[in-house]
Structure 1
């Protein structure tokens, strides 16, 4: 019997993407890759994965990978150096700037994709030993308003419920959450509840997203009016005998002030309807369903958090649960769906500038407690600068040194162009990264440090329901990549703080983190994992998912607050009276629309990982802006054309999608594209740097904008085995494809210039089709029987069929007929054109689905049974249903044509 290579055994770990925290089984293939599947034993997903998680194996290559430390030399060129030289340089420059300008002149900017142990060391170094609280995180952009709302209401950043509540609720309310795309594994749990227990669903969102469709009620409210809606609900509950008076009296305070403020904001059902732009009938239906249902979970995400009124929105939701006692009970709680894999772990260790470690704050007792535990020589005594303010301070020259770890602020922050200019002013700009190039690195980093990536690093993450899971290494780190905690610890030693950073493993750090959580706690603080502080190395390695708190002598606790026990000084929850909501920026004749930004189904953040997956690049391959048909007609836009979106902060050129799912007066554009993978599509450059006054979270949902048509004469695409640098005059989007690199582009330059460009780097067998008068140029270079590079250009939509040619490009060899037909850009017998990918999990294209519908499939389940589409994560099911609806009655050819259009 052949023994299994221990380096190729299956490892249980945790997904690299959203806050659901799905368990994964990774089996290395011995060639730097791994087979990925869901872990059926993990309580977050029970084996189910979304399209992004399923495609993780396609993202493990070393393309664009940073392998060695690098320092920018005097000529401006990045040169490889030894680790010791890079670390000495970072420590020396930090030390010099701190001595000259004080600890407030330096800052860290972290990521919700760091492990808890990395986060802990960064927070300890900056806040406890350097003496500044200027350490913040990109989690500020996604869940800071939830943190602030929890702390105002509960006295601590406590998520009161758990995922099991989604199974047990009788009413599921989703507010500003496109869970079908952004948290599909949890959304499928909700659908199972609906199908098996009859739970009802309400979706509240300005956009008719793919989460709408299985709902019982959709409330397409005006942007920024969530507070008015839930204030109206609070009044309705009070006036219709739906309050839990005993709970309010025993466990809360501030109810009278909150109800009085709510009456001023939305004094009646009709006033609520007027404030939100909803019909009185829909508002009444929502209020009645909430009031009459004991088991209600209200889930909210970026549509609530990413707002200048985000904290008030959170508290308006929480108020309704406190008022009915529907909190911390099976099937009943407010629930924040976090966006990143370890946003919660970062919150635990004080990764936000306004927190100390272990959910402690900048109060004198907490400062003293953390100081004594850490033996900290110069602990920070006041809050630091939050993300947007931090980069504004860099622009003013107040912060001289910045260390960015695992994030891409030149793309993701609002006013991204301003962020880029600010970064150029730094005296010391350090980046710990996996990739050698992204928008932030390319601004002009001084020191680039290779950090271990997912699959190579080991530690813990915490998901949205407070469940701590192990993220384990299953690949050997390439080059000289190191854990982030090790890199920071080495700098700490060079700064003279070696005794405080004598960590030899992630387990060492976790034990200290757990010990601090229990230090002088005695139940006074929500976060306590003291029972884990004595784990041995082997116990840590084998640790199974566990939900905090895990107090010494107690079992883990799934829910909080069913019987009070809040973390304010009087142990009561606070009803918070929200302010009357008002958008901080107004539309004008020059900026008549509002820009809403967000995510799409198959991409993640700035695409440095998902952008490497051919599967994930096929659903929505180009950056786009979604426009309501009325606004499209008003501004002269057509579906599939290009438009320029402009705000007071920047402009982008994007493909136009005309859709009635978009609200009138609103634009929607996804956040994922960067300068590294598209031309003029960094949507962050459009977003106003307006922030919530309590959380510091930026308003990403309502920037005043204008839109105008932008015409390109030619459209085209290129495919190559090697990366290409397209001519600068072209608009382009890079797309991962099987076997190489793909580029979709548009241009106004003459075709002869494109021909010259192609011939400047191709020496292989070249076949061409030229009709310059008709605006068509197609060419392919071959190496043997395989396409090496090909270029297709034509007027408008006549460049050739991207999906057909992409299929031929992926083939190892082309037959004579295929080679002869290639430059036609059309399908031929023996090569079915599956069309644009709809189901990323199984690679099922739209044409294949339409053929199946034409062949008699009448439901998403029918399609799943025949093609497997929709049977994994389920996030494509709404699109399957739309294709069926578009097909409608009639002959199969007409149904297929309707779906294609």
Structure 2
């Protein structure tokens, strides 16, 4: 018998529905939910691999106090006592919470209630500050509320979709699939991608604008001017429903085409082509994500985009409007409950005394935060200088993800009292906790999340919590009770919390606020368990809304939208020789700091170590070759070592390094140690994509690759990166040979016993070293070292852990590092969903497969999540060029 549970994916803001199944043996499988309106059964590679991430390896299973096991009562009593005493001695602003878009709405709600309503401080912020705060600021400035006007369906109904700073194919893959399907059914649909990099998403575009970093405000200001000059302004909408148009247009019209070309780095021809497409197309959706938000001018970028939609009245109707794509699964839910330091619950404003009084009265709380709290960067500055003396971090890893990450690490280390709630024990942040509270993870916890189109869905448990792990909402409510607020935190279930959250959203609302889910204020447990996905608003009385603002009614006191005059940032000083603009972001198959995706071998197969994308001409100037190690450094002496990946898809003068690797998975590779804590002055969001760094080839004595059935215990190397592999681990290593030699390190680090047969090969002159360890006919480990990057097929070497090696010839092939006759090397993994390699695809092209569809029919590659389809297309094109030669 198979038990099935409908739940929601814990990764990006698309909010896909999934069905988790458990068979009689306890084996979990996951598939897309065909009835969920976010994805209609589609999943990306990460969602498809969810069942592979559910092991208990590294899980926090019981509370710890200063590294020693404790019981729950002792741990919670200590947390409550230290927070209470700190507040009593130093005031409410001496404590802080730092939360996460990984939390469920119910977790967020009680944490915000405790901090703002009962402790009385605004010092509660979230890692959503790092990804969506500028969208919030832009929405509130323009609309009077943090409202996302449209729906996913609008991407399919639009005749023009503009993607700004959004690598949809890798970061929101299911939306990319929906958009690709819409374009395939309506080829007249146009897609414009505005991004300094030519990402995988650009392969779907009719027009790619490689805008220079921070050139977006200038581009959309130029568009606003063009719309006015060509009589495309909807004068009726602007006159009746907005204010400030003249000031916004005046600010926008101060640039000539020559100035615009310089500010954007684009040719006048490309700029005019984009302007013409936007001006002549009624149904336009402009989607934007981290490339817009993660900037010191992010809020202005958001408003420059919104200004163009307000000016044309293209908002709130089918197939048109500005659309913020959230990064995390519950960034929106956190915003709804006031999880940001500058917001109150239920989209009320902390700076509004009437809102503060209303929330305090509803909560019957002894006090309410009287002003915004510290935003993320300022919060950790306050930890560093001692203003914050007790800190509670929930479900996030700021030692890796915050800018100036080493400073953040030192601040946490110096903080007198640090609590961390997490499901993993050994994250870079959890290791610094004085009290570690074990949290439940996806598949174990119950609650709701809100996706990018305002759709609230249930996450339901289908696994028992391991050890003594408890939900985050329970952690908070138990501490709240112990701090003397028992009545306010006497929740017995997430259903009760959700009901209170819904009731607050409707309290004295009467349509004055956008967020209203009062229809669920009296929800009981059974109804909560059966809750189907729905979009807000869902008031107790009156009709639900699919879209906002088509009627011209906004949430400023006069009911009108605001045009926001914005100016492009000053052009940066010309880059000095050897200096680059560092862009950070995600890769296709990993999520945040890999505490979940890092457990899946096939999700690591595509990109298994940190890398730096460099344009080949920039690399040549610095004598960097493909696969070299490169040193990326800032002007303060911080540096990382990463693998060079040369590609013409990277703009010259810029490099890209992903954000995912931590001190657990690679060293030294925490890219945010290089990022300065520059923030947007309106939103407080850090500029994670425009740092200045230097780049140099990093010479080492040796490079090595290791596959092993067991994880090595000691890595005494200058550089290393480790990833899960099928039946074991794969490692990249570089540096000097250990003092005792490779073989001694190999045996000791892997704990090899007397039953192991060692096969050795060493060519001192050439600098090559190969070591195999076998138990009978099974490979236990294989080590390959040379003076230059090791030319061994990684996936083939990994596959040898699963292969029988009974004869000497088979072993010699491993030593040689290449397959023998009759063996096929799959090559580097391209399709993570079906583990299809680049060489398999190339061979299929040679056999006559000349399209992505044909490859899919033969190998299944590209037929599930579709994120690999651009890469498959590039392999097909490359093979065609080889054939033409």
Equivalent of 2:205, from 204, 215, 224?
215
The corresponding residue for 2:770 is 778
- The Cα offsets for residues 839-859 of structure 1, whole Å up to 9 and x where unpaired, read as 011110001000001111111
- Aligned pair in 2 of structure 1 residues 196, 341: CA closer, same or farther (>3 Å)? same
Alpha-carbon separation, structure 1, partners of 2:284 and 2:468: 50
The corresponding residue for 1:821 is 813
Equivalent of 2:38, from 38, 41, 44?
44
Q: How does 1:54-69 map to 2 (within 5 A)?
A: 54-69=48-63
- Aligned pair in 2 of structure 1 residues 891, 280: CA closer, same or farther (>3 Å)? closer
The corresponding residue for 1:433 is 422
1:173 matched to 2:162? The reply is yes
Q: How does 1:274-313 map to 2 (within 5 A)?
A: 274-313=262-301
1:884 matched to 2:876? The reply is yes
Whether the 8 Å CA contact 1:735–1:744 is kept in 2: the answer is: no
The corresponding residue for 2:854 is 862
Alpha-carbon separation, structure 2, partners of 1:828 and 1:46: 45
Equivalent of 2:462, from 455, 461, 474?
474
The corresponding residue for 1:13 is 7
Alpha-carbon separation, structure 1, partners of 2:389 and 2:807: 61
Whether the 8 Å CA contact 1:808–1:814 is kept in 2: the answer is: no
Equivalent of 1:621, from 592, 608, 615?
608
The corresponding residue for 1:238 is 228
Q: How does 1:728-767 map to 2 (within 5 A)?
A: 728-749=716-737, 753-760=741-748, 761-763=751-753, 764-767=755-758
- The Cα offsets for residues 75-107 of structure 1, whole Å up to 9 and x where unpaired, read as xxx111101111011111111111111110100
Alpha-carbon separation, structure 2, partners of 1:809 and 1:554: 62
TM-score (normalised: structure 1) = 0.95
Q: How does 1:35-114 map to 2 (within 5 A)?
A: 35-72=29-66, 78-114=67-103
Question: What's the offset of the Cα at 1:272?
Answer: 2.0
- The Cα offsets for residues 517-550 of structure 1, whole Å up to 9 and x where unpaired, read as 0000000000000001112211110111000000
The corresponding residue for 1:145 is 134
Alpha-carbon separation, structure 2, partners of 1:582 and 1:618: 42
- Aligned pair in 2 of structure 1 residues 751, 885: CA closer, same or farther (>3 Å)? farther
The corresponding residue for 1:75 is none
Question: What's the offset of the Cα at 1:780?
Answer: 2.5
- Aligned pair in 2 of structure 1 residues 31, 449: CA closer, same or farther (>3 Å)? farther
1:502 matched to 2:502? The reply is no
The corresponding residue for 1:193 is 182
Question: What's the offset of the Cα at 1:684?
Answer: 0.6
Whether the 8 Å CA contact 1:844–1:869 is kept in 2: the answer is: yes
1:845 matched to 2:845? The reply is no
Whether the 8 Å CA contact 1:33–1:60 is kept in 2: the answer is: no
- Aligned pair in 2 of structure 1 residues 521, 770: CA closer, same or farther (>3 Å)? same
Structure 1 range deviating more: 93-102 or 519-528: 93-102
Alpha-carbon separation, structure 2, partners of 1:772 and 1:201: 55
Question: What's the offset of the Cα at 1:777?
Answer: 2.4
- Aligned pair in 2 of structure 1 residues 815, 200: CA closer, same or farther (>3 Å)? farther
1:182 matched to 2:176? The reply is no
- The Cα offsets for residues 548-579 of structure 1, whole Å up to 9 and x where unpaired, read as 00011234311000111100000000000013
The corresponding residue for 1:897 is none
Alpha-carbon separation, structure 2, partners of 1:376 and 1:590: 58
Equivalent of 1:250, from 233, 240, 256?
240
RMSD: 1.6
Alpha-carbon separation, structure 1, partners of 2:681 and 2:593: 27
Question: What's the offset of the Cα at 1:685?
Answer: 0.3
The corresponding residue for 2:617 is 630
- Aligned pair in 2 of structure 1 residues 868, 94: CA closer, same or farther (>3 Å)? same
Alpha-carbon separation, structure 2, partners of 1:95 and 1:127: 15
Question: What's the offset of the Cα at 1:816?
Answer: 6.5
Residue 200 of structure 2 aligns to a residue whose secondary structure is coil
The corresponding residue for 2:693 is 705
The corresponding residue for 1:669 is 657
1:802 matched to 2:790? The reply is no
Alpha-carbon separation, structure 2, partners of 1:367 and 1:402: 24
Whether the 8 Å CA contact 2:455–2:534 is kept in 1: the answer is: yes
1:721 matched to 2:709? The reply is yes
Question: How many residues were matched structurally?
Answer: 878
- The Cα offsets for residues 486-528 of structure 1, whole Å up to 9 and x where unpaired, read as 0110000100001000100000000000000000000000000
Question: What's the offset of the Cα at 1:580?
Answer: 3.2
Alpha-carbon separation, structure 1, partners of 2:24 and 2:249: 63
Question: What's the offset of the Cα at 1:814?
Answer: 5.7
Whether the 8 Å CA contact 1:326–1:332 is kept in 2: the answer is: yes
Equivalent of 1:123, from 105, 112, 133?
112
Question: What's the offset of the Cα at 1:815?
Answer: 6.5
Alpha-carbon separation, structure 2, partners of 1:514 and 1:416: 37
- The Cα offsets for residues 801-843 of structure 1, whole Å up to 9 and x where unpaired, read as 3222210113477667534533232212453210110001111
- The Cα offsets for residues 152-173 of structure 1, whole Å up to 9 and x where unpaired, read as 0000000000001011000000
1:394 matched to 2:383? The reply is yes
Question: What's the offset of the Cα at 1:648?
Answer: 2.9
Equivalent of 1:465, from 453, 475, 482?
453
Alpha-carbon separation, structure 2, partners of 1:625 and 1:417: 20
The corresponding residue for 2:683 is 695
1:450 matched to 2:433? The reply is no
1:537 matched to 2:525? The reply is yes
The corresponding residue for 2:785 is 793
Residue 192 of structure 2 aligns to a residue whose secondary structure is strand
Whether the 8 Å CA contact 1:415–1:687 is kept in 2: the answer is: yes
- Aligned pair in 2 of structure 1 residues 381, 32: CA closer, same or farther (>3 Å)? farther
1:600 matched to 2:591? The reply is no
Whether the 8 Å CA contact 2:143–2:562 is kept in 1: the answer is: yes
Q: Which runs of 5+ in 2 are unaligned?
A: none
- Aligned pair in 2 of structure 1 residues 811, 491: CA closer, same or farther (>3 Å)? farther
Question: What's the offset of the Cα at 1:886?
Answer: 1.1
Whether the 8 Å CA contact 1:128–1:374 is kept in 2: the answer is: yes
Q: How does 1:479-490 map to 2 (within 5 A)?
A: 479-490=467-478
Question: What's the offset of the Cα at 1:728?
Answer: 2.1
The corresponding residue for 1:28 is 22
Q: How does 1:350-389 map to 2 (within 5 A)?
A: 350-362=338-350, 363-389=352-378
Alpha-carbon separation, structure 2, partners of 1:883 and 1:854: 11
TM-score (normalised: structure 2) = 0.97
Alpha-carbon separation, structure 2, partners of 1:404 and 1:101: 20
The corresponding residue for 1:411 is 400
Q: Which runs of 5+ in 1 are unaligned?
A: 73-77, 895-901
Equivalent of 2:759, from 749, 768, 774?
768
Whether the 8 Å CA contact 2:215–2:568 is kept in 1: the answer is: no
Residue 358 of structure 1 aligns to a residue whose secondary structure is helix
Residue 496 of structure 2 aligns to a residue whose secondary structure is helix
Question: What's the offset of the Cα at 1:631?
Answer: 1.5
Structure 1 range deviating more: 861-870 or 293-302: 861-870
Residue 213 of structure 1 aligns to a residue whose secondary structure is helix
